[in-house]
Amino acid sequence: MCGICGYMGIEDRDLVVKMADSLEHRGPDDSGYLHEGDVHLGHRRLSIIDLSGGAQPMSTPDGRLTIAFNGEIYNYRELRREMEQRGHRFTTHSDTEVLLRLYEERGADALGELNGMFAFVVFDRSDRSLFIARDRIGIKPLYYLDLPGRLLFASESKALHCYRDWTPTIDPLAIDNYLALRYVPGERAMFNEIRRLPAGHYMTYANGRSTIRRYWEPPVYEPQRGRSDADYEEELGVLMEASVKRRMISDVSLGAYLSGGLDSSITVSLMSQLSSAPVKTFSVGFDYEHDELNDAAALAKQLGCDHHEIACRAEDVLLLPDIVYHMDEPMGDAITIPMFQLSREAKKQVTVILTGEGGDEIFGGYLFHKVMWAAEMYRRAVPGLLRDHVVKPLVSVVPAGAMNAVFNYPAYLGERGKLKALDYLNVLDPSRMSDAYEHLISLFDDRDKATLYGDAFRDSLAGRASSNGHAAGASANGSAAGAPYLDKLLRLQFDHWLPDNMLLRADKVAMAHAIEARVPFLDHELVEFAMQVPPRLKLKRLVGKYILRKYGRSILPQEVIKRKKMPFYVPIENYFEQPAFQDMMDDLLSDESVRNRGLFKPEAIAKLRSHMHRREFVPVKQVFSLMVLELWFRRFS
C-alpha cells in the first residue's frame, strides 16, 4: 500500500518530490522517483510484501517500462508461477514486479488477470505514453488533472495542488451533489479541473491526449438452471474462505475491525480458523442503547481474539479538521470520526486491517434495500388510484411518532423524516428507480434546497446538469433492462456509493495512519458470484443477506446470526449539546461565517440549528454535513 503521483508534460523535477511529500502519511517507509525529461513519477511506500525488495518506481530489465503502483495483487504468486513457466525471470518477491511484467506481456488485457485492489501508472519509453488503471470496484483512489499538454495524477487530490500553474475553480454542482448525498459522486471532485479515474476503467495518455475506457462492470443476473440453494451456499463458503485467505497474505502484522455485526464477524471467524495466533480485533463504541460493543467483545472472546476497544465521545468532533484534510473532499457522515479513531488505534499494533465493507452492498443488507423492495411489491399490488387517493392521504395524517415505530433505525424519524417518506411515494415508478434510490440515500432534497440556497449560489447552478452522478448508473443498468428489480438496485451502488463514498472513506481514514485496509467482501470473484445469486437468496421476506446468514450458521454462534442488524451509527443527536460540539458549530455555522461563504441563507442555517434540540434524524445529519463542508472550504479553497 502506497501513495503514487506524477505527471507528463512538465519539466520541473522538484514538483514530484513536493507531491510525494504531501502523501508521506500513505507511505512513510520509503520514497522513490523517476525523472526523465517531462515525465516524472513519485512513490511513497508502506512496506507490506517483500520488505527488503520491491522499491518503486520499478522498471523492466530492458528499461522500456516503469511502474508506480498503489495496492496489493493478491494472486501475484499464482501469476508469477504461470509467468515463470512462460520463461519470465524475477529479481524480487514483490507483487509490483509481477504486475509490471504481466503488463509488459499483455498490456491492458493484464487487468483481467488481476485479483486485488490497485491504482497504478506505467510509463512506456518506446512511445512516451502513460497507462493509468484503477481496480474494478474502486478500492484504491486515483485523481488526475488534465490540462493542455500536461497530465498530473495522484492518490490524493491534495498532491495536485502542489502544482501552481493552474487556477482551481470550485464546481457548484459538486457542492449541490455533496449536500444531496454527503459525498461527491461520480468522476467529479470539488474542483472543476480535478477528476477521479472511475472504478473499473483505465486511461491512456500520449501526445497530450487522454482516452478513458471501461474494462469491468458488475455482471447482469442470469438465472442458472439446475442449481440448488445448497449449491449457491456451498460456493459462497468456498469463495469467502478464499477471499479472506488471500487478504491475510502479508509480511507485516494484521488484524480486523469487529463491529459485532454479521459481515465483520464472518471475516474474523474465518481469520481465526486460518491463523495460528489470536487475531487482533478492534472495536469502537458510543455508550448508547444501540451500541454493539458488548456483542463484539463477546464474539472476540469466543473466538480467542486479542481484542481492543476504543470509545468515541462528543469531544472527538475536534478531530474533524484533521479528518477533512485527509479526506481531500467533504464527506458529511459522522462515521468518519470513529473510523479515523479505529485506524489510529489499530496502527499501534498492526499495519494491515481487514474490514467488513461490501457485504451489505452485494447481498442486500441495507434498510433502503428493504424499503425499496417492499415499496416495489406495494406498487405492484396496489392500484395507482388507490395509492394516490387513499394511501397517501392516510400516511399524511399519521403522527411522526407512529411512523417512527416502524423506522428500523437508531434515530428519531421526526416530522422532516415523515415528509421524506411521503415524497418517496411519488417516485415508485420502476422507470424512476435511480430517483427513488437517490431519494432514500439523500440528505438535502429539493424541498430543503429551496429554502437553503442563496440567490447567487442558485444562479451558479443554472444550466448545469442536475444529475447527482447517476448518468453512468443509468447506462450501466441499460444492459440489465430485463434483470430482476433487486439486481438492478444493487448494481446502482457500483456507480458511486461504493467507490466514491464507502471505499474512498475507508481508504483515506486508514492511510491517514499508514494502515492498509483490505475488504474481503469486495473480492471481484465474490462480487461476480453475488450478482448471480438469485434475489430470493439475498432478500427473503425482508430478511437481508439471507444466504450470508445461512452460511454464517456454520461458522458463527447462533446469537450472531439471529441478531437484528444495526447500522454503524454515530449518535450525533446525543453529542451536539456538549461544549466541544457547540463551540465548533458556533464557529463554523455562525451568521457571519454563512454570510461570508455566500452559498446559503443565514436564516435557513439558523433555523436548522434551532431544530437540533428535537433530535430528529434528518436535521441533525444536515447540520453536521454543513459543518464538514465549511471545514473543507477553510482548508482547501
Q: What whole-number percentage of the chain has pLDDT above 70? A: 93
- Greatest CA separation found in the chain? 75
> What secondary structure, in 3-state letters, does 461-475 show?
HCCCCCCCCCHHHHH
Is 523:243 a contact under the CB 8 Å cutoff? Answer: yes
Comparing C-alpha atoms, which of 130, 546, 456, 509 is closest to residue 345? 509
Burial of 92 (0-12, 13-18, 19+ CB in 10 A): middle
| pLDDT score for 387 | 73
| pLDDT score for 428 | 81
Lowest mean pLDDT among 125-139, 361-375, 524-538: 361-375
C-alpha cell at 413: 424519524
Residue type for 632, please?
A: W
Report the pLDDT averaged over residues 578-598: 96
What is the side-by-side order of every strand in the sheet holding 58-59?
58-59, 65-73, 116-124, 129-134, 201-206, 209-214
Residue 134's pLDDT band, with cuts at 50, 70 and 90, is: very high
Taking 90 as the threshold, does the pLDDT of residue 422 lie above it? no
Taking 60 as the threshold, does the pLDDT of residue 37 lie above it? yes
Query: In terms of pLDDT, which residue wins out, 66 or 378?
Result: 66
Is 309:274 a contact under the CB 8 Å cutoff? Answer: no
Taking 90 as the threshold, does the pLDDT of residue 84 lie above it? yes
3-state DSSP call for residue 411? Answer: coil
| pLDDT score for 545 | 95
Comparing C-alpha atoms, which of 629, 303, 366 is closest to residue 502? 366
Query: In terms of pLDDT, which residue wins out, 577 or 271?
Result: 271
Q: For residue 23, what are the contacts with CB-CB under 8 A and spacing of at least 6?
A: 3, 4, 5, 42, 44, 154, 155, 156, 159
Query: In terms of pLDDT, which residue wins out, 19 or 475?
Result: 19
Taking 50 as the threshold, does the pLDDT of residue 85 lie above it? yes
Of these ranges, 288-297, 459-468, 572-581, 602-611, the one predicted with the greatest mean pLDDT is 602-611
3-state DSSP call for residue 490? Answer: helix
Taking 90 as the threshold, does the pLDDT of residue 490 lie above it? yes
Taking 80 as the threshold, does the pLDDT of residue 564 lie above it? no
Q: For residue 251, what are the contacts with CB-CB under 8 A and spacing of at least 6?
A: 47, 48, 49, 50, 51
Report the pLDDT averaged over residues 51-76: 93
C-alpha cell at 46: 508502506
Lowest mean pLDDT among 196-205, 355-364, 557-566: 557-566
Taking 90 as the threshold, does the pLDDT of residue 560 lie above it? no
Residue 468's pLDDT band, with cuts at 50, 70 and 90, is: very low
Residue 470's pLDDT band, with cuts at 50, 70 and 90, is: very low
Note the pLDDT tens digit of each residue in 153-162: 999 999 999 9
| pLDDT score for 473 | 37
Taking 50 as the threshold, does the pLDDT of residue 407 lie above it? yes
| pLDDT score for 399 | 66
C-alpha cell at 387: 395509492
* Domains of the chain, CATH where assigned: 2-214 (3.60.20.10), 222-455+464-568 (3.40.50.620)
Q: What whole-number percentage of the chain has pLDDT above 90? A: 73
| pLDDT score for 145 | 98
Query: In terms of pLDDT, which residue wins out, 45 or 396?
Result: 45
| pLDDT score for 162 | 98
Which is catalytic among the residues 2, 5, 162, 305?
2
Query: In terms of pLDDT, which residue wins out, 614 or 182?
Result: 182
Global confidence as pTM: 0.93
Distance between CA atoms of residues 363 and 344, nearest Å: 30
Residue 474's pLDDT band, with cuts at 50, 70 and 90, is: very low
| pLDDT score for 402 | 57
Report the pLDDT averaged over residues 446-471: 80
| pLDDT score for 386 | 75
2 is catalytic: yes
Note the pLDDT tens digit of each residue in 309-339: 999 998 999 999 999 999 999 999 999 999 9
Report the pLDDT averaged over residues 164-171: 96
Considering the chain, what is the average pLDDT of its residues?
91
Report the pLDDT averaged over residues 610-616: 82
Query: In terms of pLDDT, which residue wins out, 425 or 124?
Result: 124
Taking 80 as the threshold, does the pLDDT of residue 408 lie above it? no
Lowest mean pLDDT among 48-62, 393-407, 513-527: 393-407
Q: At what angle do helices 172-181 and 433-441 cross, to 10 degrees?
A: 80
